[in-house]
């Protein structure tokens, strides 16, 4: 808890992956209107009502860190980034524990279209006690980012591969889905075609 007794909620930007499906370049550094994808994702977190924001780095860490330099975020390096997203989630959980967060939101560095107001809706739902896992839903489809109460940190630390926390979200009785009008919660960039398509739709 923070000094006012409210829950301390932090955000973790997952920005360690190799983006193997994108091709030669690092997709996180691809620009939309002159701003790298990962910068846009981090900006959403920083501009929200999150109490703190951190980033997990791995592949191409110097360049990604440079793209985020304006935010001066604390960083955790993931040596095992090649083993999948779960390794970055574990690194984020370690940071959250050390920071004594009551809950953590995991944001994907390759999802640059999520709106700040959407993130704030997740935080409001959690603070209102509506669920201890809170995820956005757009037109009936579950999206990202996802908030996890600290009681789930052990379970998140035990996931493996590229699954992240998806199974936990879908199987836990305390999950709250917040319906939003933000298609950005579904738009992750895996390929150059994805980037072209989503930019055209904006």
Q: Is the pLDDT of residue 126 over 80?
A: yes
Lowest-confidence region among 26-30, 101-105, 136-140 = 26-30
Q: What is the CATH number of the domain that holds 141?
A: 3.90.550.10
- Stretch 120-132: mean pLDDT: 97
> Residue 5: what pLDDT?
46
> Residue 10: what pLDDT?
98
Residue 1 lies in a domain: no
Decide if 57 contacts 13 (C-beta within 8 A).
no
Residues 134-168 have pLDDT tens digits of: 999 999 999 999 999 999 999 998 877 666 577 88
Phi, psi of 11 (to 5 degrees): -120, 140
Range of 130's domain?
9-201
Residue 91 lies in a domain: yes
Q: What percent of the chain has pLDDT over 70?
A: 92
Residue 82 lies in a domain: yes
Residues 184-201 have pLDDT tens digits of: 999 998 878 888 887 777
Q: Is the pLDDT of residue 119 over 90?
A: yes
Residue 3 lies in a domain: no
Residue 55 lies in a domain: yes
> Residue 3: what pLDDT?
43
CA 123/CA 198 separation, integer angstroms: 26
Residue 115 lies in a domain: yes
- Stretch 120-127: mean pLDDT: 97
- Stretch 88-97: mean pLDDT: 95
Question: Within 3-128, where are the H helices?
Answer: 37-46, 61-67, 85-99, 116-127
Residue 68 lies in a domain: yes
Q: Is the pLDDT of residue 59 over 90?
A: yes
Q: Is the pLDDT of residue 124 over 60?
A: yes
> Residue 170: what pLDDT?
85
Domain count, the chain: 1
Residues 33-51 have pLDDT tens digits of: 999 999 999 999 999 999 9
> Residue 20: what pLDDT?
61
Distances (CA, A) of 116 to 43, 155, 191: 8, 27, 24
3-state secondary structure of 108: strand
Across the chain, mean pLDDT equals 90
Q: What share of the chain is helix, strand, coil (3-state, %, to 5)?
A: 40, 20, 40
Residue 196 lies in a domain: yes
Phi, psi of 133 (to 5 degrees): -130, 130
Decide if 7 contacts 126 (C-beta within 8 A).
yes
Residues 2-12 have pLDDT tens digits of: 544 488 999 99
HSE at residue 49, side-chain half, CA atoms within 13 A, is 14
DSSP line for 113-169: T--HHHHHHHHHHHHTTS-SEEEEEETTEE-S-EEEEGGGHHHHTT--TT-TTHHHH
């Amino acid at each position: 808890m923070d000094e006012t007794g409210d829950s301390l909620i932090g955000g973790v930007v997952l920005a360690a992956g190799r983006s193997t499906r994108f091709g030669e370049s690092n997709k996180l550094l691809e620009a939309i209107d002159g701003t790298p994808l990962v910068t846009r994702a981090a900006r959403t977190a920083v501009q929200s009502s999150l109490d703190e924001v951190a980033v997990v780095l791995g592949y191409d860490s110097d360049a990604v860190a440079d793209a985020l330099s304006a935010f001066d975020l604390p960083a955790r390096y993931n040596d095992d980034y090649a083993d999948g997203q779960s390794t970055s989630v574990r690194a984020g959980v370690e940071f959250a524990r050390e920071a004594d967060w009551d809950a953590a939101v995991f944001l994907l560095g390759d999802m640059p279209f999520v709106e700040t107001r959407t993130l704030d809706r997740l935080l409001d739902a959690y603070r209102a006690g509506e669920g201890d896992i809170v995820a956005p839903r757009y037109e009936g489809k579950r999206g990202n980012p996802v908030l996890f109460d600290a009681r789930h940190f052990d379970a998140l630390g035990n996931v493996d591969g590229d699954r992240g926390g998806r199974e936990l979200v879908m199987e836990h009785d305390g999950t709250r889905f917040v319906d939003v009008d933000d298609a950005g919660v579904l738009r992750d960039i895996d390929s150059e075609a994805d980037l072209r398509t989503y930019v055209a739709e904006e």
